[in-house]
Chain A
Amino acid sequence: MDYETEEQQVEALKQWWKDNGRSVIVGIVLGVGVIGGWQAYGRYNQAQAEEASEQFASVMFAVEDDNAENNPVEIAAALQDNQSGSLYATLASMTAARVLIQEGDLDGAAAKLQWAVDHSPEAAVAGLASIRLARVLGASGKHDEALAILPVNPPEGYIGVTEEIRGDVLAAKGDAVAARAAYQKALDNAPTMTGERIVNIKMEDLADATSADQS
């Protein structure tokens, strides 16, 4: 567009502002609002995460401290209630399970581990929690429940630990053949929980006439 005079130019600008001024202002306000909102959201997230981290750290400190005033299970429970979706809450719950085992409360420990399995936002950690849960259930004599929890085809990184536990539960249940097969899988695939030597011993102890060559 060409303007004849300066006046015309100013006039055109004024006209433009009249037409569009409001939209521009609203746009800027909206933009600033979004930026501010985003940053506030970020700050909120940060604060939430720091709080979860702090509470989790207190759980860990309480475990070490052995001080009756700071019960790690209670601190963990508060974190689980406040921020159930946080990975910190999952880890706190798993730590609480450990403390309960120390106190001989296998059912309580199982509940804590079940919570971790259900709430963990990280699949790898949930996988680990379910392996621990299966061990606790197996030790409580709930063999079938334990077997039901262990994945039939565990992800590659967990084959060793999973199959070792499956072998333990099957052996406790009295199924030597299946237990041997599970131990063998554990040995074939990946590092195990208690180490190759112990898994080997567990497996060999279940030998029968068909598995060991005694001719």
Chain B
Amino acid sequence: MLLDLRERIRNSKPIKYTLITIISIPFALVGIGSYFSGGELAPVATVDGQPVSLEELDALKRNQRAQMSRFNGGVLPAGVTEEVIEQSALEELLRAQSVRNVLDEHNFQISDTTLAQFIQRAPEFQTNGVFDKSKYDSEVGRDPRYYEERLRIQLRSTQLQDAIRGSGFLLPQEQERINELATQVRLVDTVRFPAESVREGVEVSDEEAQAWFDENQASYVAPERVKLQYIQLSPELLMEDIDVTDEDAQANFDSNRGLYMAPEQRAASHILLETDGDTEAKIAELNALKERIEAGEDFGELAKEFSADIGSSENGGSLGQFGRGTMVGAFEDTLFAMTEEGALSDPVETDFGVHLIRLDEIVPEAGKPFEEVKDEIVQSVKRTQANLEYGELLEILKDETFNTPESLDAAAEAVGREVVTTDWIDGTDTSDPLLSNPLILQTALSDDVLIDGNNSAPFEISENNTIALRTIEHEEERPRTLDEVREQVVEEVTAKKVADALAVSIQAVRERLDAGETVEAAAEAESGDLILNRFLARSSRDLDVSAMAEIFRFAKPADDQPVYGDVTLADGDAMVVVLREVLTAEEAEAREQAIIAAIDAETGASSDSEAAPEDVAAADDTAATQTDEEPPFDPFNAGIGEAEYRALLRQIRNSAEVSIDREALQQDTSYGGGS
């Protein structure tokens, strides 16, 4: 058959050409290199045929894990399992790959020109608004090509984002509507029935409590709880047991003197004569000068005239201020042995020649004396020592809790700490910051500790604060008895009775309103507290948040027919709300002015409307805070473009064909070293 094929190919030129052409295509497309590589790890997923590699996934998982634990005291937040991290990291990679595919498909490129344009416009490379080549060179470092390539990739990936975001807009009409809604004011009358007035007369019998308890038993449950023993280890605790004697502290102070004290300094002047081999003569010369000075001649003038030290002679021989270790031995020894400011030394011989020294000033040792810094030193010595001990004891604790898993006593003895026994812990008590840490209960209920009865491994509940624990008693979730929760039950029944009583009043008011009575008349008849003309802005704090939200959900009054409803306030009070009008912020302001004018005109107004001015003022306040909280919308708010871009990302991700290789994910643990 092969022979037959060969014959046919040989006899047909078109087939021959076609074959050769076909064979050459793959080389043109991928080059020869790809025939020699291979043997890589299987991709964990493909997005429209493009692979997502295990290495990428592992790197991102590491990153996310580190990031999440950084904000949670070094450990992963409860509920964030490996699966959760894997899921979120994988999803992020799939999304990124699907976007990359779209960019590839549509041939997104950053040309050299665009790159250059971008670099020239980047503010970090500019001086006074003009591109500065030297700034660019120093920023970018030795390999501009590397930097430029990275920038190119980055620009490409943000091109689509910038386009969508930058072309996002909010139309003036849309902005107007949002502003109008956000600053809307609702004009209401309210009739309030305080819970307190009914509450006094309410009594709850044992039968009622029992009935309520029976009916709602499911909600009275004591959560699962444990009693624990634990050993706590932290540098802070260890510090308590470390004694630092005064001698230790003094020794530390002495060896670190420089930290606390600035050493003595002296200011001096000198006259230097070079010896040229004849020291004796020069010394005699200096002594002569010394005598002239002592006789009243000026040191400075003589220094200028005779001193061979050109650096100082101009300044009258002054060398300025310096501490020990600056000048040559004999000079220093002489100077620091002098005691009186202004005194002259005998001639001193050094490698430079012979000096006549005048002590100008003594600047004594300055800083905090030992007594003042003693406590600080003691603490610091303790802390250093405690940190050292902590590291060592931590290792011992690990070994001992593991070696003697059935008790903490051995471990406690080995590290010199007490075993602490707790009362019941169920995670609801937050008074003890240590025991209310969720990691405690989580560890106490883990299989190894709870079921197998082992010591837990030592674990950090916060930085440098380690706990090892064991569970000594455990109780499953259980129903509570009536006696345990009687107080709560009585309170609940009371609240219910109060609400029922208030509902009767509310209903009565509503019926009167239905029958056409005025709100004034209805409130009077049912003895409710009436407030007329309240201007409520969305963020008003006159009423609590949920009541305000409720009022803004009322239908708008049509044909001047007020709409009414009722709300329950956080303190248990009930209220009938009559919604008269829905106003824009401007309308509301005009209305307030009108009402104030009316009150002014009618001095000695009724007690009801006296409330009005206060409410008007309150509404003014809230209207003001309202505008503070809602800055005017920028018509070209990038936020809109941003939201649209996120929708675009979702859409791109959703329409990509994704296949995830669960088996390839499994290689993870063996490959990633179980990190």
Point out residues on A near B: beta carbons under 8 Å: 19-20, 23, 26-28, 30-32, 34-35, 38-39, 45-46, 48-51, 53-54, 56-57, 60-61, 63, 86-88, 91, 94-95, 97-98, 101-102, 106, 121-125, 127-128, 131-132, 135-136, 139, 155-158, 160-161, 168, 190-195, 198, 201-202, 204-205, 207-209, 211-212, 214-215
Contact = CB atoms under 8 A, between A and B. Distances in A.
Contact of B647 (A128, A195, A198, A201): A128
Nearest to B27: A35
A139 B554 contact: no
B655 A155 contact: yes
Given A35-B27, A128-B648, A155-B651, A205 B184 contact: yes
A160 B109 contact: no
B111 A53 contact: yes
Interface in B570-628: none
A54 B118 CA distance: 11
Contacts of A123: 655
Given A19-B10, A38-B25, 14 more contacts: A32-B24, A35-B28, A46-B107, A50-B111, A56-B163, A57-B118, A61-B121, A91-B164, A98-B169, A102-B635, A156-B650, A193-B643, A194-B643, A209-B555
B564 A136 contact: no
Nearest to B10: A20
B162 interface: yes
Given A95-B166, A124-B652, A139-B173, A195 B643 contact: yes
B654 A156 contact: yes
Contacts of B556: 205, 207
B163 A27 contact: no
A128 B647 CA distance: 9
Nearest to B646: A191
B393 interface: no
Interface of B: 10, 13, 16-17, 19-21, 23-25, 27-29, 102, 105-111, 113-114, 117-118, 121, 159-160, 162-164, 166-169, 171-174, 177-178, 181-182, 184, 538, 552-556, 563-566, 635-636, 640, 643-644, 646-655
B10 A34 contact: no
B647 A191 contact: yes
B463 to A, nearest CB: 36
A91 B167 contact: yes
B167 A38 contact: no
A60 B651 contact: no
A63 B166 contact: yes
17 contacts: A23-B16, A23-B17, A27-B20, A32-B24, A48-B107, A54-B113, A56-B163, A57-B118, A60-B163, A91-B163, A95-B163, A102-B636, A122-B105, A124-B651, A132-B169, A168-B177, A214-B564
A57 B646 CA distance: 22
A43 B28 CA distance: 13
A63 B25 CA distance: 44
Contact of B21 (A30, A101, A193): A30
Contact of B167 (A88, A98, A157): A98
Contacts of A168: 174, 177
Contacts of B109: 46, 49-50, 53
Contact of A214 (B105, B113, B563): B563
Contacts of A127: 651
B166 A212 contact: no
A157 B159 contact: no
Contact of A53 (B159, B172, B177): B159
A157 B652 CA distance: 8
Nearest to B108: A53
A45 B109 CA distance: 11
B618 to A, nearest CB: 21
B552 A204 contact: yes
Summarize A's interface: helix, strand, loop or mixed.
Answer: helix
A204 B164 CA distance: 30
Given A53-B109, A61-B121, A214-B564, A161 B644 contact: yes
B554 A207 contact: yes
A132 B636 CA distance: 13
B106 A87 contact: yes
A61 B410 CA distance: 72
A136 B647 contact: no
Contacts of A98: 166-169, 636
A139 B554 CA distance: 27
A26 B500 CA distance: 100
A106 B174 CA distance: 13
A39 B166 contact: no
Contacts of A157: 647-654
A7 B654 CA distance: 70
Contacts of B640: 193-194
Contact of B553 (A20, A128, A202, A204): A204
- Which of A20, A45, A128 counts the most chain B CB atoms within 10 A? A128
Contact of A91 (B24, B160, B538): B160
Contacts of A88: 106, 108
A88 B159 CA distance: 10
A21 to B, nearest CB: 12
Given A34-B28, A161-B644, A214-B555, A190 B650 contact: yes
Given A91-B160, A101-B169, A102-B635, A31 B648 contact: no
Contacts of A28: 20
A205 B177 CA distance: 11
A27 B16 contact: yes
Nearest to B112: A50
A28 B15 CA distance: 14
A56 B654 CA distance: 27
Contacts of A156: 650-651, 654
A132 B167 CA distance: 10
A97 B163 CA distance: 12
Contacts of A158: 647, 651
B553 A207 contact: yes
A204 B554 CA distance: 8
Nearest to A32: B24
A161 B647 CA distance: 8
B363 to A, nearest CB: 60
A143 to B, nearest CB: 12
Contacts of B21: 27, 30-31, 34
Contacts of A160: 647
B5 to A, nearest CB: 15
Contacts of A208: 555
Contacts of B636: 98, 102
Contacts of A128: 164, 644, 647-648, 651
A182 B649 CA distance: 23
A61 B644 contact: no
